[in-house]
Structure 1
Amino acid sequence: MVSSSTVRNDGGPTLASLPRGCAAQRQRRLERRSSIMATATNIEGPTKRIRWNELKRILEDRHRALTHEVHGRIRDARTDSTRGCHVLDEGESSEVDIQDDIEFALIQMKAETLNRIDTALRRINEGTYGCCFECGGEIAEVRLRALPFAMRCKDCEEAHETSEYRRRIMAQRHGSSAIAFDLSS
């Protein structure tokens, strides 16, 4: 049975009921989010609103263009698959499979970009756009103009990419040692 002091009103655990590391992490995350909101409201002004409106327009234009492109690529892929009724030899079939894989990867990348743009537009509406998701600091306008859906400042993005790289390397090492172990059995 769970005591009432370990459960919040929404059914989730309280900070006190979490393991020590988890509670500290959650507390830091909550503090960071409140810092982001405070930063967003402190640096509001007419100039900033004008810049954000311009970036919002750019994001909306890019969203429309990408949506149109993704729909067109999907439509073309469906049309190509229904047209390809003639028999192919192994080489031709392999080449078609590779082209299909590339096309699918491109569609997937564009869909991910659309999701990032949606998130940026939501952050503009919430008033948190331009604030780093990690440290709460302001993201440089130059960075936002180059990458309007950036969620982190340059320093935090570099740290995030480094940690992701290390995580992938560790996963590969663990995966390759598991394969070696399986081969020896």
Structure 2
Amino acid sequence: MAKSTNVFMLILVLCLLQSALANMFSSLSLPDEYSLLFQFKENISINNSASFDSHAYPKVSSWNLNRSDGAGNCCLWDGVECKSGNVIGLDLSNSFLYGPISSNNSLFNLIHLRTLNLADNDFCSSQIPSKIGRVSLLANLNLSRSLFSREIPKQISQLRNLASLDLTGNGYHALKLQSSNFQNLVQNSSETLRELFLSEVNIDCQH
């Protein structure tokens, strides 16, 4: 009986230690994510032109790393969602974002992201960055009505946790998706994909 009790206590201690270590490493990673978000803010332009959407406003303008009132905590920033010490959601829809996003943008180093919404911005007919594939936990990706163009990178089709993908409204045939990448997208996310919006996307069947 005593031996069983000792084994139980050992297992309990190990579980508590594992939980403590997980929390420690999780909290250590958050300052890095603060920095990545702030770098994103510094490298994107804001176009404060008039919008027909009453909910539109430049969310990233309020982001600040060093504020004594608590606004330096990125988990309290507009559009940012955190869980267990990591940034898991980013909703920057209707945020007056303007200009192309390159593949080396710090946004794609937020590897814990599960939701990314960049809808209703103006990315100046640039291509969707291939580094989107680095954010492998993405479940919800919304790039609708944000003036992306050209070929959709194959890396999107490699996101195996996608539940929802919206690429609509970027202009008639402005976005092109190779049929092989479309097939890979459906196949790779077959167990998770629930919503797929590709209106106006040109699916190229020649390859």
Give the TM-score of the pair, scaled to structure 2: 0.26
Q: Select the structure that is richer in strand.
A: 2
Give the TM-score of the pair, scaled to structure 1: 0.28
Larger-Rg structure = 1
Q: Select the structure that is richer in helix.
A: 1
Higher relative contact order (Cα pairs below 8 Å, separated by 6+ residues) = 1
